[in-house]
Structure 1
């Protein structure tokens, strides 16, 4: 209380962090993204599985992050990014349809 009501200014800190975060490589990001879903149990009936659950989940999450707002947006995102997605997803029967995203 001996300082009264005088404003107290903090000492300025360095504008640059001492250890800035290092960018992650694209290969590491792609591998880790799809590997998160390897252990998710698939409740679907075997005869109805045309697409891997991992592929469906990854496309759904990426399209949502990109601003997608529904099943059709998930399919459209997958179609528009198919060449990139094929680098780290299996996609044995191509991009799942909007109906597949809805059912899963």
Structure 2
């Protein structure tokens, strides 16, 4: 299940199938009072995804160069690293941002305020 997608679509809470009655009550109470409810393990993953998966400083640098339209070869030259290393960085960036290509990575990063164009 994509909790991130559900929350973006307007869901106010998320529960596991094996939720205890106490957690169910806590969830309903929180939502009734205008809040949200997500179990702590899910909240940690959701926060990570919302915050860009905590991109490393190097990943941020690579992402900025990707946003500028540079190829892996040019990015590698700029940082003195191989094309393969740049490709590894971009794969981690895609994973952390929940995307599958460079254009989507830039769009997600701009949307989340990680970079500006």
Q: Same fold (TM over 0.5)?
A: no
Q: Larger % of helix: which?
A: 2
The interval holding the TM-score normalised by the smaller chain is under 0.3
Q: TM-score, normalised by structure 2?
A: 0.24
Q: TM-score, normalised by structure 1?
A: 0.26
Higher relative contact order (CA 8 A, sep 6+): 1
